Amino acid sequence: MSNNSFTPTPKHFVAPLEETPLVAIDAVNVGERPSNLWIDAWRDMRRRPMFWISAVIILLVIVVALFPTLFTSVPPNDNCQLSNSNGGPTSDHLLGFTKQGCDVFSRLVHGTSTSLSVGIIVTILTTVLGILFGAFAGFYGGWLDSILSRAGDIFFSIPYILAAVVIMSVFSAYRNVFIISLAIGIFAWPATARVLRAEILRVKNSDYVMAARATGVTNFRILVRHVLPNSIAPVIVVTTISLGAAIVAEATLSFLGVGLPNSTMSWGNDISAAQVDLRTAPQTLIYPSLALSITVLAFIMMGEVIRDALDPKARAQR
Amino acid sequence: MAGYILRRLLQAIPVLLGTTFLIYFMVFAMPGDPLLALFGDKTPNPALLERLRQEYHLDQPFIVQYFLYLGGIFRGDFGTSFSGEAVSDILARTFPVTIRLAIMALIIEFVGGVLIGLVSGLRKGKLFDASALVVSLIFISLPIFVIAFVAQYIFGIQLGWARTTVSTGAPIQDLILPAFVLASISFAQLIRLTRASVIETQGLDFVRTAYGKGLSRRRIIPVHILRNSLIPVVTYAATDFGVLLVGATVTEGIFNVPGVGRTLYQAIIRGEGPTVVSFVTVMVLIYLAVNLVVDLLYGLLDPRIRYVK
Amino acid sequence: MKIRRYGIGAVALVAASVLALSGCASSGSDSTSSANTAAIITANGSEPQNPLIPTNTNETGGGKIIDAIFAGLEYYDASGAPQLDVAESIETDDSQTFTIKIKPDLTFTNGDPVDANSFVDAWQYGALLSNEQLNSYFFEDIEGFSYDEDSPLTGLKVVDDLTFTVTLKEARSDFPLRLGYSAFYPLPKSAFADMDAFGQNPVGNGPYKLASDTAWAHNEKIDLVVNDQYDGGRKAQNGGLTIVFYASEDAAYADLLGGNLDVLDAVPSSAFSTYQNDLGDRAVNQPAAIFQSFTIPERLAHFGNDEEGKLRRAAISMAINRPEITDVIFQGTRTPASDFTSPVIDGWSDSLEGADVLAYNPDEAKKLWAQADAISPWGDSTFQIAYNSDGGHAEWVDAVSNSVKNVLGINASGAPYATFAEARTAITDRSIQTAFRTGWQADYPGLFNFLGPLYATNASSNDGDYSNPEFDALLQEGSSTADSATANEDFQKAQEILLKDLPAIPLWYSNVTGGYGETVSNVEFGWNSVPLYYEITKS
């Protein structure tokens, strides 16, 4: 790897346009709309059962989050009696009781919005920041790469759980969904950025990018139309998993004593509280974990479908 | 190449300043007087408190504290903890333990994650793939403290295969169980990432060409598919090294590993700014070095990526 | 003085509590036949937060070690009764001037003699402001002490090699009782040359000594071996003591079950429901000198020093189902409170006049609350209890809040502070606007220690700013009475005032919960929750 060339000029030779014989094209179907990556993807996705299964689960979770009272009439935190502590299911309380004697099912239903919000806000935050930093750094390279990558390093060299502990302590008096999402997300995005940057480094040297460049397409357009869609697969994988990881991170912060206040229902809070009775009352741990797993599974499956749909080569194989 | 490395090393300086400033500021902004906590539930007399404040420069404004500390670092003085131990001594005894643990965890998650991910990718949609998804889901949806407690109870207490906690000197055999627990956090990510990458690589022209040329799967899979799928995986694993170094807070606590995560967490909770920043400084240096190595590795994994500018 | 803050599993175990010598003269002399007197006992502990200097160690992590390697004038036996250790006699006529005689021919492990100067110099050092010793307040009653400037203790006078006198600012009948506390330990001459170095590698005169210069492996353990020169009532029945430092009680408990630890003095909350099964008759659960409460400052609206405030305090107290909470949340590892002290302290009583305010009585609670509402309506306010969430308090705070909520029909919840430092700061600068968790672990086994520092007007740890002249007068009377039975009567009467005013709502006494391995026997826990390590034998 020598240091004597100044520009990353393509090593490939592309013939000038005027020399290319155009005889190969017999006819052009002018009625056909130009193919669009995203429209193609959608056409592909809607044919697949996995897409519909995950969509239904995600929709259901969202509905539960928005309208918890449709699913349970028991208020989650009222009338928690210690005499019911860790009690089994009854006809009014389908999943039994927590250690404090609160209704497990009701807490689960009412905790959905908190946990889902944390997962979604963190994911949006890390994805947006990650794509912005990763894409520009990887595609343009040079000094922009240095600045963006090192900026990412500043945040990423402080592990996000520890950073979140500090941030949650700083905002001790204002612990809410937004703050906790910010605390988790603000130090987690460089992971996405780095993965995307790496993939872009790989993709930007591909033949089709070279071709696009040779035909005079602007850099930015190349990035958005060609490079990004072809580099997005690992980002989708990381993102869909980090949605689950964010919900779990909320539980870990509760465990470390800097999570949401106990009066806020969340799966993370319930998982953390259930840890104490891991051996004697595992059911209080299993239900919130199960809700978490199913939600995460739905998002992972959805990510999988989107990834497949965006990958023209994978599509062609079918 | 040498120029590139030199440039990257120079770039480490602003990162170091940025990180230490950020963490020092955050710890400074934590509400509460750390010295009051030294007295437990007893309220100390004001004169004594004032003296202690002066001793730890806690009576100074933030920016003065930061530069006093930074000046100390340049003189090789990392400060002292509230317990009177030199921070440099604390660094010297905790980092070796944690680096050992992190490397073990990294190897476990990398080998396990890549193998399972590779097979999953090659057999997309088959039973193995589905089972791998379920297993990774379990790891994703269980917080680390639950995994750690369960592992400790089953393997440490019930089966007696491993020591329940890490004994003095943190020998390798004691670290195996915590390393597995630690690896489980990123295990799922690596499986999914490898799988996705393998599926994508499989569809690429050179792989089809290789099949077309009649090369055996034995040769195609490791040489063509795996090598070309590793870039995002290696990147992720490298970024994960930092997480493993200090993010091991919970695991180190449960298995009583006298390492960085646990010590740093305690320092944060106690508001010991200098200790926190010293740890972060060393960690940033390690992290930057690892990332540099990974960026150089890209070139090995994919010759098309070059460091020219 | 202070309370343990229990780690919640991760790393938060920052025990801040005080130690005292533990000892037992009666059972310390003979050991079981199969015991191996050379065997090393391993016990749980935590990394000392301060250098190992007696006057600078105020938390259990360092305190356990200090108590093992030093011997003071007295030690406390398992029941908390003081027994002479280094002292030959402690005499007084007026409870203000004490003459202390030391046993002859005692030495520190480096050969320095243990004499009157060892004590007087150590106390002078500990009391001096510029030495910044965390335990300096222990010398506040001695003549000459000042919080605000460097001022020698003029009340200490060396009479001869083995005799010195202590003069107090005013009569304190329980002063001799305090002398077993570690702040009053002696220091060898060599210590004063370089106190920093001494703190890392202390030289004492107790039943154990550091195994080597590098015995203290920071954050891992400390190795102690038997000090053959020690000849007091705490002679070691084993070959040594290794204290392993744990970041969490969970880790220590796992090690006990895994056979890697001999003696454990703190069962984690995650094992409350299982430890009796896990350990069988090797489980320990007995009351200790730790009192838990929450304080409602008088400055809070509706809780002033008036009729309404008293009604509401009583109502809240009666709305808390203490037996159920200690049973369900703590699995019987707490004992519902019946006064403001502790059952292990001489003079404790479960039948004080007015103690029925501590019994669960929902009907009466509702009635009193309604009467208070008639004076000034409560409205939609929320009753909150502040706590530090790094100390494992969330569970019981939630349970207490739910109990109050269910009985009184008002909103009640916990108000978590992220760190202990933050909570203490809000409490100390009086910015806190809610009730808050308070706890007290005694420094020495006396009733006064649970009352004076906490509820006397302007007392150092009177965080609720309670003031009642009647209470102050009874306290003063009790502490100047030489006869301890009479003094305890005064202290009990003082508590009866507290039961009416309820500056703090008593909750329960923390038990010491622990256990030990199959290979050790003769395990007994002291009044201060620390096992009497020197008695333990190992086969």
Taking the domains of chain A in order of start, what are their residue ranges? 40-69+96-308
Answering whether pTM is above 0.95, one says no
User: What mean pLDDT, rounded, does chain C reach?
Assistant: 87
Q: What is the mean pLDDT of chain A?
A: 79
Q: Pick the most confident of B46-50, B225-229, C400-404.
A: C400-404
- In 3-state terms chain A splits into helix, strand, coil percentages (rounded to 5) of 70, 0, 30
Total tally of structural domains belonging to chain B? 1
SS3 state of residue B162: coil
Query: Which has the closest alpha carbon to A159: C515, C5, B252?
Result: B252
User: Given a cut of 50, is residue A188 above it in pLDDT?
Assistant: yes
Provide, rounded to the nearest whole percent, the portion of chain B with pLDDT above 70: 96
Nearest to A198 among B232, B304, B306 (CB): B232
Cβ-proximal residues to B254 (8 Å cutoff; 6+ apart), any chain: B145, B148, B149, B152, B178, C9, C10, C248, C250, C251
* Three-state secondary-structure class, residue A97: strand
B220 falls within a domain: yes
Nearest to C418 among A82, A85, A168 (CB): A168
Q: Which of A262, A278, A280 sits opposite C394 (nearest CB)?
A: A262
Ramachandran quadrant class, B26 (left: phi over 0; alpha: psi -120 to 50; beta: rest): alpha
Q: Is the pLDDT of residue B169 over 80?
A: no
Subunits adjacent to chain B (3 or more Cβ pairs under 8 Å)? A, C
Does residue B181 fall inside a structural domain? yes
> Are B232 and A316 a contacting pair at CB < 8 A?
no
Q: Which CATH superfamily is domain C4-262+517-538 in?
A: Periplasmic binding protein-like II (3.40.190.10)
Q: How many CB pairs under 8 A join B and C?
A: 188
Say which of B143, B203, B243 has its CB closest to residue A248.
Answer: B143
Hey, what are A137's tokens? Answer: 């750094």
A40-69+96-308 carries CATH number 1.10.3720.10: yes
Test mutation, C14, C270, C382, C389, chain A, max A CBs within 10 A: C389
Give the separation between CA B284 and CA A135, rounded to whole angstroms: 23
Residue C346: closest CA among C79, C90, C22 = C79
Residues B79-113 as b/e (b if ≥16 CB within 10 A, e otherwise) read bbbbbbbebbebbebbbebbbbbbebbbebbbebb
CB count in 10 Å sphere of residue B73: 18
Assembly ipTM: 0.80
C390 touches chain A (CB under 8 A): yes
DSSP letter for each residue of A183-248: HHHTTTHHHHHHHHHHHHHHHTTSHHHHHHHHTT--HHHIIIIIIHHHHHHHHHHHHHHHHHHHHH
Q: What percent of chain B has pLDDT over 90?
A: 1
Chain A touched by C362 (CB under 8 Å): no
Mean pLDDT of B69-80: 79
Among B146, B290, B298, the strongest candidate for a mutation testing the A interface, having the largest count of A CBs within 10 A, is: B146
Paired tokens of A172:
């001790």
Residue B218 domain-assigned (yes or no): yes
* Residue-level pLDDT at C342: 92
Q: Higher-confidence residue: A35 or B233?
A: B233
Write down the pLDDT at residue C83. 92
Residue limits of CATH 3.10.105.10 in chain C: 287-511
The residue-averaged pLDDT of B199-208 equals 77
Structure tokens at B94: 């905790």
A142: left (phi over 0), alpha (psi -120 to 50) or beta: left
Asked if residue B15 belongs to a domain, the reply is: no
The architecture CATH gives domain C287-511: Roll (3.10)
Look at C149 and B157 and tell me if their CB atoms are within 8 Å.
Answer: no
In angstroms, rounded to a whole number, what is the distance separating the alpha carbons of residues C156 and B282?
50
- C270 interaction partners in chain A (CB closer than 8 Å): 275-279
To the nearest whole angstrom, how far is the Cα of A31 from the nearest Cα of chain B?
A: 31
Residue C188's Cβ-count burial label (10 Å; 0-12, 13-18, 19+) is: buried
Q: How far apart are CA C56 and CA A62, in angstroms?
A: 56
Q: Which of B204, B239, B261 sits opposite A191 (nearest CB)?
A: B239
Judge whether C387 and C394 are in contact, CB under 8 Å: yes
Please list the ranges in chain C whose pLDDT falls under 70.
1-37
pLDDT for A249 equals 85
Residue type, position C446, single letter: G
CATH 3.40.190.10 segments of chain C: 4-262+517-538
Question: Which pLDDT score, from 0 to 100, does residue C335 have?
Answer: 93
What is the Cα C106 distance to its own chain's centre?
Answer: 29
Q: How far is C312 from chain B (nearest CA, A)?
A: 26
Backbone torsion region of residue C151, taken as left when φ is above 0, otherwise alpha when ψ lies between -120 and 50, otherwise beta: beta
Residues 189-208 of B with CB under 8 A from C: none
Can you tell me the mean pLDDT for A87-115?
A: 84
A195 interaction partners in chain B (CB closer than 8 Å): 193, 232, 235-236, 239
Residues of chain C with C-beta less than 8 angstroms from the C-beta of B32: 417, 419-426
Cα angle, residue A58 at apex, residues A179 and A42 outer, rounded to 5°? 115
pLDDT of amino acid C325: 93
What's the whole-number mean pLDDT along residues B124-140? 82
Subunits in contact with chain C (3 or more CB pairs closer than 8 Å): A, B
Choose the mutation target among A147, A153, A252 for the interface with B, i.e. most B CBs under 10 Å: A153
Q: What is the pLDDT of residue C55?
A: 93
Q: Would you state the pLDDT for residue C437?
A: 92
- How far is the C-alpha of A144 from the C-alpha of A136, rounded, in Å? 7
Instruction: Determine the pLDDT at residue B298.
Output: 75
Q: pLDDT of A236-278, one tens digit each?
A: 877 887 887 888 888 888 878 788 887 788 888 888 888 778 7
CATH code of B130's domain: 1.10.3720.10
Pinpoint the alpha helices (H) of C362-483: 362-375, 394-408, 420-428, 447-455, 469-480
Residue C304 one-letter amino acid: G
Question: Rounded CA gap, B127 and C45, in Å?
Answer: 50
Structural domain that includes position B100: 95-257
pLDDT for B89: 86
The answer to whether position B117 is within a domain reads yes
Q: Is C257 on the interface with B (CB under 8 A)?
A: yes
